[in-house]
């Protein structure tokens, strides 16, 4: 089973890495925690919720636009590609899997049972 | 007691939400799950409260809520986000400095000038890579009250204001966390200082004049917060241990 390829965090990027249960239409493997009722990953789901910060997925939808804007402002293409390659799953940060950013589901980061190494 | 029902509904809101209604301030440190509860409570405000007097300060929805959302992405479940927000605006007496009166010329009788110092946001977040992010936003507003007399001898008083803003973002790294100079300098509006110690501190400051419009405010805060994160390579931002 492929690990969940959902990018977690905002400034501090990580990747989920739980066992996936499905593949989103964008090609990303998604775990049970990150899949929405339509079978989408958080970023595809949040793309529809851009404007409303009360939507729980807002920050994940806004993240790509933030990286575009800030790398433009800083004239720093590396800054954007850091996010983009991470998000496209091309980034191999060695032990690039997460320790569990906050998922809004009360998941406790100390509970290592559903983490995989690669 | 026409508003009794609304008042009762407000009493069921999250205490932080209630503070933003009654005092227009908040000063609290909470874990992400509790901030989620605050945001969920704030989300019910518009449909529940129609009375203008009890509306949320504008910066609640424009700045506070999205900023909480962003920070919750980077804070571990047991980490904490502290927010001190004073959204009363710059016109309250504690924020107003002394005034000076200048003689006018021509039809201008005199000009009275004073400044308001409004530190309206301070945030501290313990991030999941072990670093700590602190943000502050301070407005400085110059007021000029101009007393004029028109040709028919009528007195007119007009007050003009001009706001500038200072945003700071400071990230204190974990001991031993790798630091790497980014390939490009920050934009001219952003200054950066690195303090190398056991825990490296990266500080970015922007002075913006005029202060950003409400709809650009969040983007500016995040833009200044960007600089301290450019200084650590991505590999070092991902740790397996909380
Ligand atoms: Zn996942
Ligand atoms: Zn997707």
Q: Which residues crowd ion ligand 2, with CB under 5 Å?
A: A 24, 26, 28, 41, 44
Say whether B217 sits in a helix, a strand or coil. helix
Question: What are A32's two structure tokens?
Answer: 């049970």
Is residue A16 included in any domain, yes or no? yes
Are the beta carbons of A59 and B70 separated by less than 8 Å?
yes
From ligand 1's centre to the CA of A41, what distance in Å?
Answer: 9
Is residue A22 included in any domain, yes or no? yes
Are the beta carbons of A9 and B128 separated by less than 8 Å?
yes
Give me the mean pLDDT over the A11-31 stretch.
90
* CA nearest to A86 within chain B: B234
Is residue A99 included in any domain, yes or no? no
Mean pLDDT of chain A: 75
Which residues form the domain of A12?
A: 7-90
Domain boundaries of chain B, sorted by first residue = 1-77
Q: Is A113 exposed, middle or buried (0-12, 13-18, 19+ CB in 10 A)?
A: exposed
| DSSP string for residues in A31-80 | ETTT--TTS--HHHHHGGGTT-TTSTTHHHHHHHHHHHHHHHHTT-HHHH
Question: What are B107's two structure tokens?
Answer: 């039809």
Instruction: Yes or no: say if B49 and B10 are a contact pair by the CB < 8 Å rule.
Output: yes
- Given this model, what pLDDT does residue B242 score? 33
Q: Is A117 exposed, middle or buried (0-12, 13-18, 19+ CB in 10 A)?
A: exposed
Which residues does chain A have within 8 Å of residue B188's beta carbon, measured at their own beta carbons?
A: none
Say whether B137 sits in a helix, a strand or coil. strand
- Given this model, what pLDDT does residue B233 score? 87
From ligand 1's centre to the CA of B92, what distance in Å?
Answer: 47
Is residue A37 included in any domain, yes or no? yes
Give me the mean pLDDT over the A98-110 stretch.
40
d(CA B29, CA B132): 14
Q: How many domains does chain A have?
A: 1
* Residues in chain B, pLDDT under 70: 1, 235-242
Q: Is B5 exposed, middle or buried (0-12, 13-18, 19+ CB in 10 A)?
A: exposed
Is residue A80 included in any domain, yes or no? yes
- Given this model, what pLDDT does residue B136 score? 98
Is residue A67 included in any domain, yes or no? yes
From ligand 1's centre to the CA of A63, what distance in Å?
Answer: 17
């Amino acid at each position: 089973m492929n690990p969940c390829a959902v990018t977690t965090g905002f400034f501090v990027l990580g990747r989920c890495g739980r066992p996936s249960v499905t593949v989103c239409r964008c090609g990303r493997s998604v775990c049970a925690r990150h899949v929405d009722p339509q079978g989408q990953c958080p970023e595809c789901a949040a793309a529809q919720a851009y404007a409303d910060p009360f939507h729980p997925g807002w920050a994940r939808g806004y993240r790509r636009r933030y990286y575009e804007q800030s790398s433009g402002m800083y004239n720093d293409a590396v800054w954007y590609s850091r996010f983009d390659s991470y998000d496209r799953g091309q980034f191999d940060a060695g032990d690039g899997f997460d320790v569990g950013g906050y998922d809004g589901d009360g998941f406790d980061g100390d509970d290592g049972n559903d983490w995989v190494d690669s | 007691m026409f508003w009794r029902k609304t008042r009762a509904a407000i009493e069921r809101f999250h205490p932080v939400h209630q503070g933003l209604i009654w005092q227009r301030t908040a000063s609290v440190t909470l874990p992400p799950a509790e901030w989620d509860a605050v945001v969920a409570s704030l989300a019910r405000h518009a449909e529940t409260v129609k009375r203008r007097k009890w509306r949320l300060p504008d910066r609640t929805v424009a700045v506070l809520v999205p900023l909480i959302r962003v920070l919750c992405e980077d804070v571990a479940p047991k980490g904490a986000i502290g927010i001190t927000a004073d959204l009363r605006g710059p016109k309250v007496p504690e924020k107003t400095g002394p005034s000076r009166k200048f003689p006018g010329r021509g039809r201008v009788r005199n000009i009275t000038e004073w400044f308001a110092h409004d530190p309206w946001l301070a945030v501290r977040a313990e991030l999941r890579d072990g670093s700590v992010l602190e943000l502050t936003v301070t407005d400085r507003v110059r007021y000029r009250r101009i007393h004029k007399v028109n040709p028919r001898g009528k007195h007119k008083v007009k007050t003009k204001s001009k706001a500038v803003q200072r945003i700071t973002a400071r990230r204190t790294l974990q001991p031993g966390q790798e630091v790497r100079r980014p390939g490009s300098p920050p934009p001219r509006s952003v200054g950066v200082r690195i303090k190398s110690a056991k825990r490296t501190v990266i500080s970015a400051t922007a002075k913006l004049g005029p202060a950003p419009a409400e709809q650009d405010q969040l983007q500016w805060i995040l833009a200044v917060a960007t600089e301290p994160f450019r200084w650590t390579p991505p590999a070092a931002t991902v740790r397996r241990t909380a």
